Structure 1
Amino acid sequence: MNATTRKYHQLRKEVIKHLYYNKMLTLTELSKLVSKSLPLITSTINDLVSDGYVLEYGLAPSTGGRRALTFLLNKEKQRYIVAVAMDQLVTKVVIYDLLNQAVMESEQLKISLSEGAEGIPVLLDFLKDYISRSGITTDQILGIGIGMPGFMNAEEGINHTFFKVPGDGNLTKHLAKALNLPVFIDNDSSLIALAEMKFGVAKDTKDVMVLNIGWGIGLGMVINGSLFRGHSGYAGEFSHIPLSQSNKLCSCGKRGCLEVDTSLLVLVERAKTQITAGVNSSLEILFLDESKLPGDHFLVAAKAGDPLAVSILSDAAFLIGKGISTLIHITNPKLIVLSGRGAIAGKILMAPIQQAINEFCIPMLSEHTDIKVSELAIDPALLGAATLVVENCNFN
C-alpha cells in the first residue's frame, strides 16, 4: 500500500469515526472536524455512500441560508462490533451495529478473574458460543473490544494482574488467534472514560476525571482531550490512594488503600455484618436472590432509600470525595464524572462527595470543577469496549 492509498484509508476511517461519535453530520461539519478541504471530504463521503457505509439522511435545520445535507452511518452495512466488559466477577458481551444498537441481547458469564489463566478457555468458549448463535460471520465483525481491570498495557496486550498468558504474556494475540478476529484490550476504567468523552456528559470537555465506581474505584483520566495513561501506561490507580483509616490488607498487597473502605465487596460485607447484628434492612431479603450479585442488590437498595444501604454508601462516598479532593488539587479538571456500575446510586453519592470536597478542597479550585453523574443509557463499560474497536479497526 503506497502513501497516497494509506492517507485515503486513514481519511475514510476518520470520517467514519466522526459519524460514529456524532450520529449525523454535514459535509461542512466533517470538513472542520477532520481538518480537510470540503471537496476532499465530499469525494470521500461519495465513496463511502457507494460502498454502503454512509447514507444521506436529509437536510439539516435551517441556519438562515441553504440547508445542507446530513449524513449518517448505515446500520445495514452489516458490519458489527463485539463488545466485552469484564470485571472481577462478571463478564458481559453484546454485539452492536455501527449505530451502537444491540443486534443480539447481551449475555453475561459469572467468572472470577482471580482464576488466572485457567479462566481464559472458559472466556473463549463463552465468546465463541455467543458469536456463533448470533449468525454473524467473522468477515462481518470489525473486531472484539474488551475492557478489563488490572494493570493493563494496551500496547503490549498484557494484563499484568489478571489472565496472565504463559510465554510472552500477550493476551490480545492469544485471544485473537483463538477467535480468528481482531481483538483490542484496554483497562476498563480507561474505556469508561472514553465512552463518557465520546458519548456522555464529558463530550467536548478536554480535562475530565471519570470515576469507575464498582468492585473497586477505578479512574480514567482525560487531559487536553486525550486519555492520559502515564509513562508506563498505568495511570489512574485511584483505588490505591492511602486514605483508609483501617489497617486492612488491600488486594494490591498494601495497607490503607481507599479500596478497602469503598469497594462494593466491602460495602456488602459491612451490610451483612450489621444485618447479622440485628439491623433491619430490605437487603436481608434481596441477598437471598442469587440471580444478581450482592453488590447490585446493594446499589438497588440504596437507590430505593434503604436506610442501612444509604448509610454505608454515604460513608464510602465521603472517602471517595476526599480522594476526589486530591485529584482536584493535582489536576484541576473541568469536570469529574461518576460512572460505572455505581452510577445508578449517583444522587446518593453526590451529597457526601460534595461534603468531603467542601471540607478538604481549596475553594478556588473546587469552584471551577463540576461533578456530574453519568447519563449514558448504554452500559458505559460495553460502550467503551465498542469504541475501542472503532478507534483501532480497519474499515474495509
Structure 2
Amino acid sequence: MISYWEKAHFLKYDLIVIGAGIVGMSTAIQYKLKFPQSRIAILERGVFPSGASTKNAGFACFGSLTEILDDLNMMSEEEVLALVEKRYQGLHAIRKVFGDETLGYQDKGGFELITSQEVSALDQMNRINKLLMPLFGEDVFSVEKDIYRYGFGKEVLQVVKNKFEGELDTGKYILALWDKCQQLGIRLHSGAEVLIIDDNQIHVKEPVTYDVIRFESAKIAICTNAFAKRFFPELDIFPGRGLVMVSKPLQSKIAWKGAFHYDKGYVYFREVEGNRLLIGGGRNLDFEGERTETFEVNSLLRSYLEKLTRSVVFPDQKVEFEMEWTGIMAFGETKKPIIQKVSANTVVGVRLGGMGVAIGWQAGTELVDLL
C-alpha cells in the first residue's frame, strides 16, 4: 500500500545501490560526485550494514609477510603485486578523502608474530621486499630486534614489522561515509530487504506492513558482498564468518602498540580505547562451520581466542572479555574481488576477502567507471 506522496517522491532513482556498507556508500558517493544532478538511494536490510562493515577489527592492512607468501601459492607475482597495490592505494585514498583525524587512523605499523610454524617465512622476506619495491620504494618488512619487550608467550620466536600498515576506528569511518551521503542528498533506506531484482525494478519487503514495494532505477549497483549469492547463484562466492572479542579494561598498561597478526593472518589483535584488547579470527579452525550467513558465535573459536590470549598475547595477565560479535565476509577460489557488469545497467562489487576497509573505496571507484 503506497501513498500518493511516496509514489511521487520516493520510488524512482537514477541509481539504486543495494547494501549500505563501505562499498555501497563509497559507490553512491563517488557516483553523486561525478553526476551531481542524479537521484541516488541506498537500500539496506538492517539497521546497520548487515555484513562486516561495522563489525570488522579496524585494521588498515594490505597483507602480512606470511599472507603474501600464501597468496603466491595460488597467484602469480604480477597478480599478488596488483592485489597489494589495490589495497594500499585504497587505504591511501580514504585517508586523503576523509583525513586521518576523521577516520581515527593511527600510523603505528602492522606486526606479525612468527612461531615455529612460520619461521621459514623469514628466509623469504628479502624476496617479498624485492617484489614490493616498485610500489613502496623501500623495504616493507623488517625483523624486530627486541621481541622480549612485547611480553608475548615463549612460542613467539620473532616479530616482523610492516611500516606501512595502521589501524582506524571502524565506527568513525562509517560515520564519515554516512555524513558524506547526507551532505550529498543520497537517500538511505534501512529495513529494506531486497527480494527480487527484475531488470530496472527492485522488489523490497516493507518491514511493518510486509507489503512488497517496487523501486525503479535506471542503474543498479549490488554491494552486498557474501549475500550477493542470493541474487546471482552462479557467482564464485561463499560466506566466511569472523568472530571479534573485546576485553574489559586491563589491569596493566598494554606494552605494545600497533595492529598484530598471528597464524598467517587468521588471528588479529590490537589495543582499543580504554586499555582494552580486541582480538578476532580463528576461522581456519572450522572453515566449514564458519561458511555461513548466520551471526552466532562459534564456541570452538571463542575458546581458542581466549586460550591464545592467555598463552600468547598476555601470558602473565588475567584477561576477561565483555563483548563479542560476528561479521560475515565473502571469499572465493581467488582473492581477486568481483567487480563487473551483470547486465547493461547493473553492476556488482563483492567478494572483498576480508579487505573491505582497504579496497572498499577503490571498489566504489571501479563500479562507478563501469556504470
Query: Does TM, scored on the shorter chain, surpass 0.5?
Result: no
TM-score (norm 2): 0.27
TM-score (norm 1): 0.26
Give the structure with higher Rg (CA).
1
Which gives a bigger RCO, structure 1 or 2 (Cα 8 Å, sep 6+)? 2
Name the structure where strand makes up a greater proportion of residues. 2
Name the structure where helix makes up a greater proportion of residues. 1
